Structure 1
Amino acid sequence: SLAEHRSFLDCYDMLMTSSGQARDGVYLIQPAESPIVVYCAMHEGGWTVVQHITVNSSVDFDRTWAEYKYGFGEVTGDHWLGNEYLHQLTRGPAYYKLGIKLVDPDAVTKMGEYDPFLVEDEASSYRLRLGLFQGTTADALTMDTENYLHDNQKFTTKDRDNDNYFQNCAKLEFQGVPGGGWWYDACAGANLNRRNVIYWQKDCNKERLCKYAWMMVRPTDRVKLIQTKDCQRDEL
């Protein structure tokens, strides 16, 4: 069949092609030239998982620029998909949104979305671009509540300092664990890549040790709305 031979842009594309039948799991997608292995959260609506961390994870997030570029860890567990793949996924022509999912110490799940979401290319140091926020988490990336604004920041790793602090934020330690790669300001109102503390303003911090965090992407609802109208027009 046609579906077996065509490549899928993302998990949502695959879910739609399967008429909503696809299950959670590991899939191959191809937003650009080369295929990427990803974990798809189909049950939640076809999200492509781009990051997952467990507090005190055995996976080391204190990695170099090159490692953050192409990712590390296992897509079925704690991992970073890779900044290059984040760029390939979100660069268009379709608009994407970012989903943040946090599980707090009381096992309560909180969700937040930024729509649209874009990661620029490596020449721009994988700069983060975020649209409007909605959700049950704090808006820790675009709201300047703690004088740290992550929107429009370049990515920083321990060997590539692009932040706005006099030291490298990725190297700053808490209880012996460095911050890891992130879109730091000077330094952070949120950081999901520090292994011992998942940090998201008031939702997750060293006083409130969250258990898990996920970052996921899918096409924006606005784009789907346009596609639906086009389909209806075709049928008329």
Structure 2
Amino acid sequence: WDERYHVKEAHLIFLSSNGGARDGLYMIQPMKTIIVVFCDMQDGGWTVFQHITVNSSVDFDRTWHDYKLGFGAVSGDHWLGNEYLYQLTNRGGVHKLRIKLVDMDAVTKVGDYDPFIVESEASQYKIRLGLYKGNAVDALTQDTEAYLHDNQRFTTKDQDNDNYFQNCAKLEYMGVPGGGWWYDACAGANLNRRNVIYWQKDCNKEHLCKYAWMMVKPSEKMVPAKSENCRRDEL
């Protein structure tokens, strides 16, 4: 690493730069471990923890251990890691989640959940979501497809924590398994199946989406000085 760059929160660089910070790779230290993340500064200083491109070359059909510690390249398609997501959302105040979707016509839809918490591995990285706001469908906390993802535990192909009699992560569409996700029985949304990005009516096999992102940043309700999301020094 370049010694000019220190482990500080990249989120504050957006605030201190009056919006002039650049998207890119940053080092952060949510707890003990230093990790490299991609920070979306253009949208306001978000730490990206998931990015997928439809028909990605990155395999999202991974084990519990892979989803725990992450896979892929943070500059491209990846999952940052459930353990780091737990650390990011449980250190210093309240955080929120952003879902960003782009369809084949380059139409972008966004949805925010505030607050957003991922619990520890002892709880199978259960997700907890607050109030929703955005122009995308609320596919995580509204039971519009008979599936409710809020308060669900994470499931992978080798650890079944969902509410279905089969393992939802193993169920295939066009030969591609579902990938790790906070399934109910099974899904009204799934951004980790690499052949079809699924978000109810916004992204599905009839209305294809090309890209999806999941991002986290401090809520306006929190004390900024305690957050370890996207702050300060770029790589």
Whole-angstrom distance in 1 between the partners of 2:5 and 2:37: 18
| Counterparts in 2 of 1:19 and 1:8: CA distance versus 1, 3 Å | farther
Q: Which residue does 1:65 correspond to in 2?
A: 64
- Could you tell me which residue of structure 1 aligns to residue 138 of structure 2? 139
Counterpart position of 1:8: 8
Report if the CA contact (8 A) 2:92-2:223 is conserved.
no
Question: Who is 1:120 aligned against?
Answer: 119
Tell me which residue corresponds to 1:78. 77
**Higher helix fraction: Structure 1 or Structure 2?**
1
Q: Distance in 1 between matches of 2:184 and 2:201?
A: 18
The one-letter amino acid paired with 2:76 is G
* TM-score of the superposed pair, with normalisation by structure 1: 0.90
The 3-state SS of whatever aligns with 2:215 is: strand
Alpha-carbon offset, residue 17 of structure 1 = 4.5
For residues 80 and 152 of structure 1, what CA distance do their matches in structure 2 show?
20
Deviation at 1:177?
0.1
Matches within 5 A, 1:205-220: 205-220=204-219
Question: Within 5 A, what are the aligned runs for 1:127-166?
Answer: 127-166=126-165
| Consecutive unaligned residues in structure 1, runs of 5 or more | 228-236
Q: TM-score, normalised by structure 2?
A: 0.90
1:75-109: per-residue Cα shift (whole Å, max 9, x none)? 11000000000000001331100000000122100
Q: Aligned pair count?
A: 223
1:222 match: secondary structure: coil
Shift in Å at residue 224 of structure 1? 5.9
Q: Are the equivalent residues in 2 in contact too, given 1:8–1:31 (CA < 8 A)?
A: no
Structure 1 residue 132 displacement after superposition? 0.3
Q: How many Å apart are 1:31 and its aligned residue?
A: 1.1
Q: Which consecutive segments of 4 or more residues in structure 1 shift more than 2 A? A: 4-9, 13-22, 222-227
Q: Contact 1:8 / 1:14 at 8 angstroms: preserved in 2?
A: no
The answer for the alignment partner of 1:53 in structure 2 is 52
- Structure number with greater Rg is 1
Which amino acid counterpart does residue 197 of structure 1 have in structure 2? V
Q: Secondary structure of the equivalent of 2:31? A: coil
Alpha-carbon separation, structure 2, partners of 1:8 and 1:58? 32
Deviations 1:58-91 (A, max 9, x none): 0000000000001000011000000000000001
Alignment partner of 1:221: what SS? coil
- State how far apart, in whole Å, the 2-side matches of 1:85 and 1:114 are: 19
Q: In structure 1, how many angstroms separate the alpha carbons of the residues matched to 2:52 and 2:5?
A: 33
Q: Does 1:183 align with 2:182?
A: yes
Q: CA RMSD in A?
A: 1.8
Identity value in percent:
70
Query: Which residue number corresponds to residue 233 of structure 1?
Result: none
**Cα distance change on mapping 1:102 and 1:5 into 2, 3 Å:** closer
Structure number with greater CO (CA < 8 Å, separation at least 6) is 2
Residue by residue, what CA displacement relative to the aligned partner does 1:99-126 show, whole Å, maximum 9, x if unpaired? Answer: 0000012210000000000000000000
Q: Give the counterpart letter for 2:38 in structure 1.
A: Y
Shift of 1:44: 1.1
